[in-house]
Amino acid sequence: MSIDPNLGASIAVTRFGLGARPGEIDAARTDPKGYLKAQIRPSGADQPAGTFQSSAAHFVAVREYQMQRRQDLKAGVDPVKEAQKQIRATAIPEFLGRAQLACNTDASFRERWTLFWCNHFTVASKNLQTAVLVGPFEREAIRPHVFGRFEDLLTASTMHPAMLLYLDQAQSIGPHSPVMFMSGPGVGRFRQSGLNENLAREILELHTLGVGAGYTQTDVTEFARALTGWSIQGPEGARYGGRFASAGEPGQFTFREVFHEPGARRLFGKSYNQDGIAQAGAVLHDLAGSPATAHHLAVKIARHFVADDPPPALVARLERAYLQSDGRLDQVADALIEAPEAWATQETKFKTPYEFLVSSYRAVGAAPEDFTKFGPVLTGLGQQPFNAPSPKGWAEEAQAWAAPDAIVKRMSWSEAFAQAAAPVNLQPATIADASLGARLTPPVAQAIAHAESRPEGLAILLMSPEFQRR
C-alpha cells in the first residue's frame, strides 16, 4: 500500500513516536519507514540522563532504614518522617529523567516501544520498597532488552528485585522445602510466608500466554512451586548461621535452595525434572516460545500502536514475525513498521495523559525542568507516576482516558501550559504545522489562525482532535 510521503511522515512521528518536535516530520518525509527502522538497535533503548543508583543500592538503603525504624519503635522513639521522605524522593529524579528523555529524544519510536514493554511488565510503587525500585527496574531489566529476544526480557524482568517484591515472590517458600524442616532462631517467620502464587499467575496471565490460553489453577500452583527460591540477597547476609544466605551481593537476585520446593513439576502436560533454579528457567523458556504468547503479545502491540480493536491481519503479521524469529523483538518491530494496517489514515488511538503531556512539550521543543511541572499534573490527569493501579498496567483504550471530566482537566492544563510555554518567536500556526504536518485539518488550522493570542492558538492546537489522537 502506497501512502503520501507527507502523511506518512506525520504518521511515523505522531503514531509510532511520541509526537513531533520542530523539524522532526521534515526529517521523516523522505523515507518514513526507514526513519523508524533506523531507531531499532540491538543495544536496546536509551537510558535517562543523570546519575542514578542501582536497584541493589536502593534495596539495601530501604532495608537498613526499616531495620533502624523497628529498633527506634522498640525503644519508644518515633522515627523521623523526613528519613522516609528522603528515600521516597529518590523516585522523583528517576521519573523526571524518564520524562525528559521522552520529551527530548530524536528517536521517539524507540522510546514508545520501550514504554510499551515497561507497561507490559508493570511494577508499581505500592510500598516504600517498590517505590524506589520502579525506575531502576526499567533501566536494568527493560531498556537493555527491548530489541532482543523476548525470553531474555521475560527472564530479566522476572529475576529483578522490583518484580520479586512487587508480586511477593521474594519469600515464597515451598511447602516441602528444606527450610520447613529446620529448627532454630529465625526459622518460624519464614515458615509463615508459605507458597505465594502472585508472580506465577501474572507471568501466565499478563506477561506470556494471556487469559484464555487454556492453563489451569494447577498449572499456576505448579509454576509457583518451580519459582520458589527466586529471591533477593538481604543486607543481613548470613545472619541466620549461613543457612539462608547464598551467593550474591546484597540487594541483587539470589536463588535460595532451602526455599525451593523439591521434585519434578508438571505444567501444561509436560514434566519439568530440572533441579533448583533451572526448573523455573525451563518453564520461562517454553512460555516464551509458545504460540499463545506470540498471539498475546501481537494483540497487545497492535492495540497499543494502531487501534483499541486491533486489525486481525496486523495481529497475524506480528504473531508470524515473532514465531519465525524465535521471539526476536527487533523483528517484530520491523514487521510492525512494514504492516500496511499500521499506516491507516484514520487516527483511532487516544493519548494517555503521559503521552499527551510529552507530545505537548515536544510540540514546543521543550521538556519539564523539574518534577513539579510534570508529576503532579500527571497525577491530576489520572496517571500517577510509577504507580499503575494493578499488574495489568495502564489502560490502552480510549474509554479509560476520554471521560468528560478528564477532557476538562486537559483543557485547563493546556491553557496554563500554553500561557507559560508559547514561544515568542513562533506563531501557533507554525507549531501546528510542525507538530501535525499533513494530519492538520483546515478547520483546526483556521481556528488557530484566528486565535486572539499565541497562548490561545497553542491551546487550541493541543486540544484539537488531531493532537489528542495519534
Is residue 19 within 8 A of residue 435, CB to CB? The reply is: yes
**Rounded mean pLDDT, 4-19:** 96
Question: C-alpha grid cell for residue 55?
Answer: 536497584
Q: Is 452 exposed, middle or buried (0-12, 13-18, 19+ CB in 10 A)?
A: exposed
Specify the amino acid at residue 392.
K
Task: Provide mean pLDDT across the span 172-176.
Answer: 94
Q: Is residue 421 very low, low, confident or very high in pLDDT (cuts 50, 70, 90)?
A: confident
Q: Is the pLDDT confidence value at 190 over 80?
A: no
pLDDT for position 235: 72
Name the more confident of 368 and 234.
368
What is the rounded distance in angstroms from the CA atom of residue 125 to the CA atom of residue 112? 21
> In 3-state terms, what secondary structure has residue 256?
coil
What is the per-residue pLDDT across 118-162, written as a single tens digit (0 to 9) for each?
A: 999 999 988 888 989 999 999 999 999 999 999 999 999 999 999
DSSP per-residue string spanning 155-210:
HHHHHSHHHHHHTT-TT---TTSGGGG--STTHHHHHTT----HHHHHIIIIISS-
The CA distance from 11 to 172, in Å, is 47
Share of the chain above pLDDT 90, in %: 81
pLDDT at 181: 85
- What value does the mean pLDDT take over residues 26-53? 96
DSSP 369: S
**64-99 confidence digits (pLDDT tens):** 777 776 676 666 655 555 555 755 678 899 999 999
For residues 18 and 367, what is the distance between their CA atoms, to the nearest angstrom?
A: 13
49-53: average pLDDT: 92
Burial letters for 1-13: b for 16+ Cβ neighbours within 10 Å, e otherwise? eebeebbbbbbbb
Q: How many CA atoms lie within 13 A of 69 on its CB side?
A: 13
pTM given for the model: 0.94
Residue 266: beta bridge partners?
A: 271
Q: pLDDT value at position 81?
A: 58
Measured distance CA(51)–CA(69) in Å, rounded: 28
pLDDT at 64: 77
C-beta of residue 117 within 8 angstroms of C-beta of residue 111: no
pLDDT of 275 higher than 70: yes
Q: Is the pLDDT score of 48 beyond 80?
A: yes
**Mean pLDDT lowest among 65-69, 168-172, 438-442:** 65-69
| Number of residues that make up the chain | 470
Distance, in Å, from the CA atom of 210 to the CA atom of 14, rounded to the nearest integer, reads: 29
